[in-house]
Structures are given as C-alpha cells and as structure tokens.
Copies of this chain bind each other. A is one copy, B any other.
Amino acid sequence: MATQYISTRHLRFLLHEVLDAPALQRFPYFEAYDRDAFDMTLDAAKQIGDTYLFPFYTAMDKDKAHVENGEVKVHASVRPALQAFGEGGWISSTDSFDAGGQQMPLTLFNSALMIFYAANSNTPPHAFLTQGAAHLLRSFASAELQERFVPLMYAGQWQGTMALTEPQAGSSLSDIVSTATPHPDGYFQIKGQKIFISGGDHNAVENVVHLMLARIEGAPAGAKGISLFAVPKLRDEDGQLVSNDVITAGIYGKMGQKGYVAAHLQIGENDNCRGWLVGEPNRGLSYMFQMMNEARIGTGLMAAATASGAYYAALEYARQRPQGRHPSNKDLSLPQVLIIEHADVRRMLLLQKAVIEGSFALLLQCSLYADLEKHAQGPEQRKAHLLLELLTPIAKSYPSEMGTLAVSNAMQCLGGAGYCDDFPIEQYYRDIRVNAIYEGTTGIHGLDLLGRKVMMENGEAAALFAQEISETVGQAMQADTLRNMAIALGDAAGNLQKVTMHLFGIARNERAEVFLADATLFLEYFGIVTIAWQWLRMAVAAQRALPDAAGEQEKAFYEGKILTAQYFIEYELPKTKGLHQRLSSPERVTMRTASEHLD
C-alpha cells in the first residue's frame, strides 16, 4: 500500500497562490476564513483521511457491501467515518451558523473533499450525498420538514439519497412514472421503482431519506409534471421508527466502488409508503438540478481524487522498482535502474499529474465561482454564475474521462503487478470508471455544453470564458519561459472559437441531430483547452513564486508545476488538432450509418 494519496501542498498552492481563495473573507458570511483557517481545515481533513478512510480503502473492496439476512451490510469502517464526518461538522460545514453549520466556503470544503475522496472513494460519498440531499431540503422544504430530517442527516446518523433513475428513465428523466397520490393528512402515497440508488440502504446509519422524484396524479407530461418528495425508509409514528414500505429489492454487483451500495428500491408495493412534498408541486426537476449541479462537481472531484490515489501509488512504485537499463548504457554489470529513470515512465507519471492537478485546479475554480455566485453581487456575481454554468459539464467530464486514462497509466507503470490485487491500482481502475456514468454520462454533458451552455445568454458565458483565457495568456506572455505556452493556448482558444462558430452554422442550416452529432468530441476539445488554461494559470503563479522559493524542495515544487504545464501544452493540447479537423469536416458518417450497417 502506498503511503501518500494526495498532495496537500498542491491544494494550498491552488487556494493561496492561484485562486487567492482567502480573499472570500471580504464577504461577511466567510469572515472567519483567513489563510490560517484554510490551512487548519486542510490539516483536519487530512487527519480524517489518514485515520478513518485511507486505511480501509482496499479492505472495503475485498469485503464488499452485501446483503445478509435481508440487511444491507457495508464495511465496518463506514459507521465510524460517518460519525466523524458528522461530529466534525463536515456534512453541515457550508451551511449557516444558524443551521448548525460553519459557513465554510465551498472552495475550501471541496478541497477537503478532494482529500477525503483521494483517501477513499467509497466511504465519503455516503456523507456528501447526504449533504447534497440536506441542502435540497434546506433550500426548498418547509421548516417543519427541515427540522424533521436535516439535523440527523448533518449528524451523519441518517443517510440522504437522490432517487431519480427508474428502469425506463435513466438519462431521460422526463419519462419518470413513479406516482404520488395526495392523502388528506398532508402526505402523499408514493409508488414506483427506483434503480441505481447510491447509498440507498445500508447498516451504517439508522435511517435513509430519499429525495425522490415522482408525478402527482394529473400532473402534466414530461419534466413539467415531476415533483420532489422526501421519502424516508423508516417513518416516525408516535416516536417509533416504523417501516415506510421502501423495500430494497437488491443491490447491484458493481465492477468497482464495491464499498458503496447502489440499491434497487421498490416503493409502496404494499400501498403504505408516505412521502412529503418538497417545495411546490411540479417543480421537482428544477429543484433537483441544484443538487445535480453540486453532484456533478462532486463527481469530477471524486474522479480526480481517485486518480490521485492511484498516482501516488504508481509514483512510489516507480521510485522503488529497479528494472532495465538506459538505451545508451546497457552494461549488465551495473545494477538495473529505477523505472522512474525511464523517459516513458516519466511521461506516464506526468500525464497523471497533469490530469489530476489540472482537474483539481478547474474544480476549485468552479467552487470559487459557486461561492461568488452565492455571495458576490452585480457583474461579479453574474460572471461567476455564467462561468460556473458553462464549465460544470467540463468539471464533471474531463476528470472522469481523463482520470480513467490516468489510472490506466498508473497501472501501466506497475506492469503485471498493477493488474493484481496485491497493489491497489486495479481497484482504483475499477472504481474510477463509474464517474463517466454517474450524474449524466459524458455524452449527456456534451449535449449540455454544445446544445445549451455555449450559447446561453446569447453566448455571454462563452465570451467571458474567452476573456478569462486572454487574461491568463496576457500574464504568461510577460515571462520568457511561459511565452511559448501562452501562444499555444491562445491559438487553441482561437481555434475552439472557430469550431464553435462552424457548428453554429450547422445549427442554423441543418437538423439539430447533425449539429449535436459530435457534441462529445466538442466537449473533449473544450475540456482540453480549459485544462490548458488552468495549467497556464498555475505556471504563471509558479513562475512568480520561484525566485523566493524557500529551499530545494519548494524550488522543485514550483519547477514541477511549470514542467507539468509544459507537458500539458506539449502532449495534451495537440490532441485538439485532430478534434478540430474532425469537427470541421463536412463528412457525416455517424448520421449516414444505420443499424443494419453495424452487424
């Protein structure tokens, strides 16, 4: 087992040197969060990771969640971890003091989350899915409902879930058919089936509160007729928790994240399931999107953090494992060299570092936008809102897709050992793959980006994004060592705009199907440019800090940032060339292909 799973130095670099996140202190809500508070929070998170999470990561894969005598059992380490999250105030941390929270900036909270997920991507999702569900209640539910559920959720004693997917409605939420029938006593009778419900049932909590989508009888078809309900597994009757007719039909045998249950739920089979309406009828999907946007950032974050765990395991191996010799000196009387001495191994390590740290940078950038969206005003608020909307599909998809590739490279660093369960890499490889499926597949995010986000508000978000890149390019042009990188990013951003215009030409002249056919490739292109922008920002900050770096280790740290930025510009950014060619081509091969051509 590796001994490191994340670089908290990198997180501090992002928070303090790239984003200047403690400047959020200017908002009264965050006034307690000076630089020291940021650092102490990271230290506290690392303590949790080291104590409750990392030591159990591989154990909970081997001793996976399972059904035993009708009860869903998760690994014994989950309950103490949830208690620690609850008692440490982590689940409520971003909420207000009034509500028992700590008014923590999301930027800081998400940094802590990176630590938790890098330590163990199976346990923390329980707590932070609960957090998302609690936020939904806090935002839209009546005071009474909040009081009934939120404190126990924040304490880590009750699990929260999002119960959206049904057998016939996965990506297509409009097609949800679960029903809700009003009852004179104020609740609704709920009936239906929900599948793939993460954290849907398990023995590390006393109860589960499902934030569930269903249709009230007579509601309009499609998205406009979906309402949101709080549906507990057990309901309170005269101070007793009794069954609420939410039955776990089974749990899924997943390739990875085996410590984290996905349940198939049957609701109201005995016509005895009660749900409580959250907010207004028929607005459930719009409420849910608040949670889903948070959850999308959270998914990207889980992916990047999982890749981080794999990276440090691979790095440790590469520094200890001797194998082979240099091409220019094959003298067999000399001992073999460490594999980190091989350029191709360093390339694979740089790939991982570039993907992981670049993803973390974007995710904290988006988290900062989320803080500003909520607490800033006027143009600053609007800008943050639009950039967050625009970049959410990237922040979800880039770490998921490229993190999967990064972990594959981690495995390749270990060779055969990486494929075997004596080392943790194979688990990271299985675990990370789900992130490109969770919370909307990559294809769905491509449609969201190209079909909605790029042109929202008449393209204002895209224009703001172009301005951000220009600004970073301008800063980088000042430094000799960064100029080539700045030029490369400027060119790529210009080309991305050209391709976008080209695609909108198609949108004007042809069917929407043609316009959106390669939206996934557009997402990939946009993602590469976005992460290149983040790397150039980091390079600018590192270049600025280098002259005053205290000692060899700090110097190497900043040099490593600039080298990794160069790796990204040299090895990753050029991938946009091929995407550009494809997206500019008039050839519509996927449109001309029919089912019978695919046998």
Contact = CB atoms under 8 A, between A and B. Distances in A.
B512 A350 contact: no
A446 B342 CA distance: 13
A273 B498 CA distance: 70
Q: Interface centre among A349, A420, A447, A556, by most B CB within 10 Å?
A: A420
A83 interface: no
Q: How large is the interface on A (under 10, 10 to 19, 20 to 34, 35 or more residues)?
A: 35 or more
A270 to B, nearest CB: 26
Contact of A349 (B342, B596, B598): B598
A66 to B, nearest CB: 13
Contact of A408 (B404, B422, B484): B404
Contacts of A411: 433, 437
Given A430-B430, A433-B408, A512 B560 contact: no
A222 interface: yes
A521 to B, nearest CB: 8
A107 to B, nearest CB: 23
Nearest to A587: B570
Contact of A415 (B421, B437, B518): B437
Given A327-B512, A570-B582, A598-B350, A520 B575 contact: no
Q: Interface centre among A342, A345, A349, A415, by most B CB within 10 Å?
A: A415
A347 B523 CA distance: 15
A458 interface: no
Given A344-B519, A513-B327, A578-B575, A563 B593 contact: yes
A4 to B, nearest CB: 8
Nearest to A341: B595
A181 interface: no
Interface in A503-526: 511-513, 515-521
Interface string A555-592: 01101100110110011001111110110010101111
Given A421-B255, A578-B575, A343 B451 contact: no
Q: Interface centre among A451, A566, A581, by most B CB within 10 Å?
A: A581
Contacts of A260: none
A252 interface: yes
Given A255-B430, A582-B570, A170 B589 contact: no
Given A347-B590, A570-B582, 7 more contacts: A343-B516, A343-B518, A344-B443, A347-B517, A418-B437, A564-B597, A574-B577
13 contacts: A9-B599, A195-B416, A252-B421, A253-B421, A262-B420, A326-B512, A326-B513, A327-B515, A340-B595, A344-B517, A412-B436, A560-B596, A574-B582
Interface of A: 7, 9, 165, 168, 170-172, 174-175, 195-196, 221-222, 252-256, 262, 315, 319, 322-328, 332-333, 336, 340, 342-347, 349-350, 353, 404, 408, 411-412, 415-416, 418-422, 426, 429-430, 433-434, 436-437, 441-443, 446-447, 451, 484, 511-513, 515-521, 552-553, 556-557, 559-560, 563-564, 566-567, 570-571, 574-579, 581-582, 585, 587, 589-599
